[in-house]
Chains A and B, each alone.
Chain A
Amino acid sequence: MDLLIWPDWPLAPGALFPVAVALVLTALVGEAGGRFGLPRVSGYALAGLVLGPLVLGWFDTNDLAGHRLVIDFTIALVLFELGIRLDLRWLAANRWVVASSAGEIALTFALTFGALWAVGTGAGVALAVAAIAVGTSPVILMHVTNELRASGQTTDRLLALCAINVAVSVILLKLLVGALHGVHSGWQLALLHPLYLLLGSALAGAVIAAAYLGLRRLVDPATEQGLVAMIALLLAAIALLSALRLPTALAPLFAGALIKWRDRRPHLWPQQFGSFGGVLVIVAFMLAGAAVTAGELFAGAGIGLLTVLARAAGKLGGAMAFGPPSGLDLRKSLALGVGLMPLSVLALLQAEDVRLLYPEFGARLLPIVIAMTVVLGLLGPIATRRALIRVRETRRGETS
C-alpha cells in the first residue's frame, strides 16, 4: 500500500543519470587519448561526436539549446583567463606582434572567402564562414597549453593572437549579421545593432574589470573562497549580458585584458579556474557533439575541407610572414601558425546564433561550420600540442 518507499520497476533514474554516464564516458575517452600522447580535449571532442546524433544519439540540438548557459559560461571563463594573458603593454612595445595578428587575420579571412566564393557558395555564406574561420578555439588552446604547462615565446603569442582573433571573429560576424538586418529590416538597424553590441560589450567589460579589481582587494583569488567570488562575479556577468542580449564572449575577454593593463601583478588562480573549469570543459565538448548530425556533416564536408585548407594557409602565411620581425625564428613562427589551427565550440555557437535569427541562411552556413569544427576540433589540438613540443616550450611531460 505504501508505494513511495519502494523503487518502481523498471527503474526511472531521471534525466541526470544518462548525463552522468555520458560525462564519465567523455572523461574516459579523454584519459585514453592522454595515454596515447594525444591531447585530452581531442578525446572529449571525439566522445561528444559519438554521444551526439552522429552515432549514439544520446544528445541532440535541443540539449545544446537547453544547456546553452553552461557552454556560454565555460567559454566566458576561458576567455576571461585568456584576456588576462593578453598584455596590452606588450603589444605597444612590440608592434610586430600586432602586425602578425593583423596579417594572420586578414590573410585567413581573404583566403577562406576567396576559396568559398570561387566554388560558388554565394557572398553571404562565404563572408560568414570567413568571419568564423578567423577565430581560433580559445578553449582548446587554453586546455592544451595548461595540460603541457607550456610557456615561452610561441605560447605567449599563440594565446595573444587567439584572444585577438576571437574578438575580431565575433565582431566580424556581428557586422555581417548587421548587414543581414539591413537587407531584412532597414539600414538603421544594420548600423545601430552592431554598434550596440560593441559599445555594450566594451562597457560591460570595464564594469567586470572594475568589480574584479575591487573583489581582489577583499579576497585572494588563489584561495578557495576567492575562486568562488570570481566565479560568482562571472556568473552574474553572464546573467546580465544575456539579459542585455549582448554576446557573452566579448565582455569577459575585454575585462581580462583591462585587468592585466590596470594591474600588472600576476593574476593567478588554480589553473583554468581549478578542477571546476576542467569539468565545465568536458561538459561543453560533450554537448557540442549534439550539434553534429550526419546529414549536415556530409553536406558540408567538401566545402568544409576546402575551408580548412584555405584557413590553414592563411594562419600559416600570416605567422610565417610576421613572426621573424617580431622576434621569433622560422621554426617557432611555423609552430605559431600550426598552433592556431583549432576551431571548436565557440565557432559552432556562432553559427547556431546566426541560424536562430535567420534560419534559412543558417541552414546553408551550418553544415560547412560543422564540418570544419569536426576536423579542427579533433585534429587541431593535436597540431597545437605537437607544435609546442616541437619548440620545447612544455614544462610537463616531454622535457629534456
Chain B
Amino acid sequence: MSLENFASSRALSLGVELELQLVSTHDYDLVASAEDLLRVMARKDVPGEVKPEMTCSMIEVSTGICNDYASVAAELESLRAALTDAARKLNIGICGGGTHAFQDWSERRIFDKPRFHYLSDLYGYLAKQFTVFGQHVHIGCPGPDAALYLLHGMSRYIPHLIALSASSPYVQGKDTGFQSARLNSVFAFPLSGRAPFVETWQDFEAYFRKMSDTGVVQSMKDFYWDIRPKPEYGTIEVRVMDTPLTVGRAAAIAAYIQSIARYLMIERPIRLSEDDYLVYTFNRFQACRFGFAGTYVHPETHEHCTIAEEIEASFARIEQHAIELGCDGALGELLRQVHEGRNDAAWLRERHTGGESLPELVMDQCARWMGGEAM
C-alpha cells in the first residue's frame, strides 16, 4: 500500500484530540461505559467528535479544525459541558490524567470494533496495557516539505511538552517516580519513538515504501511516533502529551504548540541535522522522569540546563508569535506555573502524599475535569 498524497490544509490551523478516562462513581476504578456514553452523546449537538478508543473505559474527543486558542478553548469547553451532562445521567465520572492511578490492566475490555480486535490480537497484553490517555495536537502545514521541517523542528520541544502536560505519576496503584509514566507504555510498541530523519516528502515516501515492502506497516496509523505526519489531513500530529487534568490546560498547551509552529515556519530559525536526535531520547527521558527539574541538553550547543529554564527561554523566543495568534494570556499563565514548578503531576502527588487515597484522588480528578476548573 502506498502513502496517500499530502492533503492541503490551512497553515497553522489547529485540532486537538483528548483521550479521557471513564470511571465508576462507586469505587473510582475504570468502568466499561464507552458504548453507553457514546450512545447518549450521539443525541447531542456538539462541535467536533466523540469516538471510541482501544478499551471500553476510554473515549476520545476531538475539536473540529480551529484557527486559534480561543476557538479551541471554546470547543473543548462545550464538549466538556456536554460530556459532563451525559456522564451525570449515567452515573459515571470523566477525568483527565495520562494514566488511571490504580486500574488493573488485565481487567480491561477491548472495544468491539474490528481494528481494536486486530490490534489486540497483534500486540497481546500490550493492547490492554495501552489503557493510557494522551492529548494529540494537529497543526496544519502549507505543504509536505514544510510539514517535515516542522516535525523535526518541533522534536526539540518534546521535553517541554512532556513536562508541561505530565499527569501520570501513578500506575497500577504505585508511584512510579516518573512525572509521565504513560510514555513508558507507548515505548513498548515496536514502531514507537521518532520519525526517520528525512527532509523532503519524496524521501519520506521512499522510506514508507521500503517499510511497507517489508510488510511491517500498512498505513501511517501503524507508526506510534511522538510526532507523525498525517497526510490525509495535511497536518503533523504531536502525540507526546498526557491528557491534562483540565480542558483549560489542554487548550493552553495546544496554543503553545501553535506558537512554536508559527515561530518555526516564519523564522526558520534552525538548520535541521540528523545529529539533533543524538540527545533526543535522553531529553525525553529526563522530562518524563523529572518534569521541569529534568536536564535539557541543547542539540546544537550541547549545553546543559533544566527543562524549566529551557521552557522559559522558549517563551521569550515565541512571545511575538503568541501575541499575533492571540494566545499570550494563556501562555502567560502557563509560564507562571513553570516558574512555580506546578504541573498536574505535582498536583496529584501533593494530594496522595498528603494522605488522600488513590480512589479519592481519582474522585478529585473527576471534579476538576467535569467542573471545568481553570488549569
List residues of A whose CB falls within 8 A of some B CB.
Answer: 84-85, 87, 90, 93-94, 149, 151-153, 156, 222, 264-266, 268, 326-329, 332, 392-393, 395-396, 399-400
**Complex Cα distance A94/B28, Å?**
20
Q: Which of B36, B39, B91, B357 has the most CB of A within 10 A?
A: B91
Instruction: List residues of chain A with CB within 8 A of the CB of B33.
Output: 152-153
Chain A nearest CB, measured from B37 CB (Å): 9
- Complex partner residue of A396 from B39, B107, B360, CB under 8 angstroms: B107
Question: Is A265 a contact of B360 with CB atoms below 8 Å?
Answer: yes
Question: Is B36 a contact of A399 with CB atoms below 8 Å?
Answer: no
Question: Is B90 a contact of A327 with CB atoms below 8 Å?
Answer: yes
Q: Which of B25, B106, B110 has the most CB of A within 10 A?
A: B25
**Complex Cα distance A228/B314, Å?**
57
Instruction: List residues of chain A with CB within 8 A of the CB of B28.
Output: 266
Question: Is A152 a contact of B26 with CB atoms below 8 Å?
Answer: no
- Complex partner residue of A327 from B36, B107, B363, CB under 8 angstroms: B36
List residues of B whose CB falls within 8 A of some A CB.
Answer: 24-29, 31-33, 35-36, 39-40, 56, 88-91, 104, 106-110, 357, 359-360, 363
Contacts A94-B88, A264-B363, A392-B56; is A328 near B36 (CB within 8 Å)?
yes
**Complex Cα distance A153/B32, Å?**
8
Instruction: List residues of chain B with CB within 8 A of the CB of A326.
Output: 89
Instruction: List residues of chain A with CB within 8 A of the CB of B360.
Output: 265-266
Contacts A94-B88, A265-B363, A327-B39; is A152 near B27 (CB within 8 Å)?
no
Instruction: List residues of chain A with CB within 8 A of the CB of B31.
Output: 151-152
Contacts A93-B88, A327-B89, A328-B36; is A266 near B26 (CB within 8 Å)?
yes
- Complex partner residue of A399 from B88, B90, B109, CB under 8 angstroms: B109
Listed from nearest, the 3 A-B pairs whose CB atoms lie closest are: A395-B107, A90-B91, A266-B359
Q: Which of A94, A264, A268 has the most CB of B within 10 A?
A: A268
Instruction: List residues of chain B with CB within 8 A of the CB of A152.
Output: 31-33, 36
26 A-B pairs whose Cβ atoms sit less than 8 Å apart in the complex: A84-B26, A87-B26, A93-B88, A94-B88, A94-B90, A151-B26, A151-B27, A151-B32, A152-B31, A152-B33, A152-B36, A156-B26, A264-B25, A264-B363, A266-B27, A266-B28, A266-B363, A327-B89, A328-B36, A329-B39, A393-B32, A395-B32, A395-B107, A399-B108, A399-B109, A400-B110
Instruction: List residues of chain B with CB within 8 A of the CB of A329.
Output: 35-36, 39
Instruction: List residues of chain B with CB within 8 A of the CB of A268.
Output: 27, 359
Contacts A152-B31, A265-B363, A399-B107; is A87 near B25 (CB within 8 Å)?
yes
Contacts A266-B359, A400-B109; is A327 near B40 (CB within 8 Å)?
yes
**Complex Cα distance A189/B29, Å?**
49
Which residue in chain B gives the minimum CB-CB distance to A393?
B32
Q: Which of B26, B27, B56, B110 has the most CB of A within 10 A?
A: B26
Chain B nearest CB, measured from A389 CB (Å): 12
**Complex Cα distance A32/B240, Å?**
50
Instruction: List residues of chain B with CB within 8 A of the CB of A94.
Output: 88-91
Chain B nearest CB, measured from A142 CB (Å): 12
Chain B nearest CB, measured from A260 CB (Å): 9
Instruction: List residues of chain A with CB within 8 A of the CB of B40.
Output: 327
Chain B nearest CB, measured from A235 CB (Å): 25
Instruction: List residues of chain A with CB within 8 A of the CB of B108.
Output: 399
Chain A nearest CB, measured from B10 CB (Å): 38
Contacts A151-B31, A266-B26, A327-B36; is A156 near B91 (CB within 8 Å)?
yes
Given pairs A90-B25, A266-B26, A399-B109, 18 additional interface contacts (CB within 8 A)? A87-B26, A149-B107, A151-B27, A151-B31, A151-B32, A152-B31, A152-B32, A156-B91, A264-B25, A266-B27, A266-B359, A268-B359, A327-B36, A332-B36, A392-B32, A392-B56, A395-B107, A399-B107
**Complex Cα distance A268/B29, Å?**
12
Chain B nearest CB, measured from A344 CB (Å): 23
**Complex Cα distance A332/B108, Å?**
19
Chain B nearest CB, measured from A55 CB (Å): 40
Which residue in chain A gives the minimum CB-CB distance to B85?
A93
**Complex Cα distance A90/B26, Å?**
11
Question: Is B26 a contact of A85 with CB atoms below 8 Å?
Answer: yes
**Complex Cα distance A327/B89, Å?**
8
Contacts A93-B89, A266-B363, A395-B107; is A151 near B29 (CB within 8 Å)?
yes
**Complex Cα distance A328/B91, Å?**
12
Instruction: List residues of chain A with CB within 8 A of the CB of B110.
Output: 400
Chain B nearest CB, measured from A226 CB (Å): 12
- Complex partner residue of A153 from B26, B90, B359, B363, CB under 8 angstroms: B90
Instruction: List residues of chain A with CB within 8 A of the CB of B357.
Output: 222, 266
Question: Is B107 a contact of A87 with CB atoms below 8 Å?
Answer: no
Chain B nearest CB, measured from A170 CB (Å): 24
